[in-house]
Each structure stands twice: as structure tokens, then as C-alpha cells.
Amino acid sequence: MRKAKVERNTKETKILSTVNLDGVGKSNIDTGIGFLDHMVEQISRHGLIDIDLKAKGDLHIDDHHTTEDSGYVIGEAIAKALGERKGINRYGNAHIPMDETLTRVVIDLSGRPYLVWKVSFTQKRLGEMDTELFKEWFQAFAQAIGANIHVENLYGTNNHHIIESCYKGLARSLRDAVRIEPRIIEQIPSTKGVLRKDG
């Protein structure tokens, strides 16, 4: 089973996460930010990745550090669980509709972090969460997991639908990318022979 545990302790946040890439989509998420909990649950449920995440952050200041650092920790845990990335599909993509909204997410677990973010909002907040923080979460996640991630909201008007389709799109594309391809189970899917965050 491809499992990992990562703990991050700073003056701003204390976060512990475990992941199981071969799970069934069970989650136990508690960041202190209700809307963020709901979004991370989407990654677990639709990515079929079991995720436990406990975060205590300086929410008395704002949600920034907790949001960003939770992206780092989940990304790092998945990267750790992937190991050398032998036998993985590597690429994944998804088009996610939610009523009037359609979003495309494409991922490459290349080891080279890069985020393309083409998403905008007409509200400054969703629940108690600043909408500008969603890009920060995706940026931190891409950096920590070592992936090239493109997120593009093609159209939509409801801000809740827009961001939820982004997280569901990440989940479904990640589900494909981490999947083991039986024909190359002992191979790294790269002509370089290496797929690592630092490679």
C-alpha cells in the first residue's frame, strides 16, 4: 500500500497528515476552516485517496498560513507515498461540470512544480474564506507534490461551483495520474529514468 505521513510544525501552523493512495476516498479533515475542509474532502472522495488532515494555525490573524501550509503538507505526503513514481500513469486530466460551470484540470507528476491558474471570482469570500487563498493552496500543493498543474475555469457564474469544480478536477486528474499501469509496473514513466521533486 502506498501510504505516507507528514508533519509540519512552525510558529504559524502545526499540521499532521496521512494519505493512502490506494484507498477508497475516506477522509477526516479538520483545518479550522470549514470551506477548506469541504474542498479537501473532495480530493479524497473523488480521487479515491484516503486523507487524514489535522491543522492548528494562527486563524486569529487570518486563514492564509493554514490554507497554504495544508496544501504543502498534503502535497508532500502524496509525493512521499509515490516514492520513485515507478509504474504510475503520470498524467491525468478531467473536465468537471457543476450546473452552469465547467472546469478543466490537467496534471503531470513530472517532478517539476508549476501552476497555471486561470480562475477568477466575483466574490471576495466563500463562507469565511478569502477566495484569493485558493490559488495559494494550489500553488503550495503543486510545489510540494512536484507536479505541473493547469487549472482553467472555462465558464461559470456561481463562485462555489467554480472552486468546487477545481478541487474535484484536481481529484479526478490525480486519481488517473497516480494509478499504477500494470504494463510498466517496474518502470519510471520518463525517458530520463527519474521522476522526483528534486530530479
**pLDDT surpasses 80 at 9:** yes
Q: Buried b vs exposed e over 6-32: b needs ≥16 C-beta within 10 Å?
A: bebeeeebebbbbbbbebebebebebe
pLDDT in tens, 25-43: 999 999 999 999 999 999 9
Q: How far is CA 28 from CA 31, 42, 142, in A?
A: 10, 12, 22
pLDDT confidence bin for 198, thresholds 50/70/90:
low
Among the listed residues 181, 155, 158, the one whose alpha carbon sits nearest the alpha carbon of residue 95: 155
| pLDDT recorded at residue 199 | 47
Sequence-separated (6 or more) residues with CB below 8 Å from residue 68: 133, 136, 137, 139, 140
pLDDT confidence bin for 48, thresholds 50/70/90:
very high
pLDDT in tens, 159-175: 999 999 999 999 999 99
pTM for the model stands at 0.94
User: Between 191 and 73, where is the model more confident?
Assistant: 73
Among the listed residues 180, 167, 181, the one whose alpha carbon sits nearest the alpha carbon of residue 45: 167
H-only helix segments in the chain: 34-47, 64-82, 133-145, 159-178
Q: How far is CA 23 from CA 19, 34, 115, in A?
A: 8, 23, 26
* Cα atoms in the Cβ-side hemisphere of radius 13 Å centred on 180: 13
Residue 193 CA to residue 11 CA, distance in Å, equals 39
| pLDDT recorded at residue 191 | 65
Among the listed residues 104, 111, 35, 36, the one whose alpha carbon sits nearest the alpha carbon of residue 71: 36
The widest CA-to-CA distance across the chain, in whole angstroms, is: 51
CATH classification number, 3-184, choose in 1.10.1740.10, 3.40.50.2300, 1.10.1040.10, 3.30.230.40? 3.30.230.40
pLDDT in tens, 104-146: 999 999 999 999 999 999 999 998 899 999 999 999 999 999 9
pLDDT in tens, 55-110: 999 999 999 999 999 999 999 999 999 999 999 999 999 999 999 999 999 999 99
| pLDDT recorded at residue 42 | 98
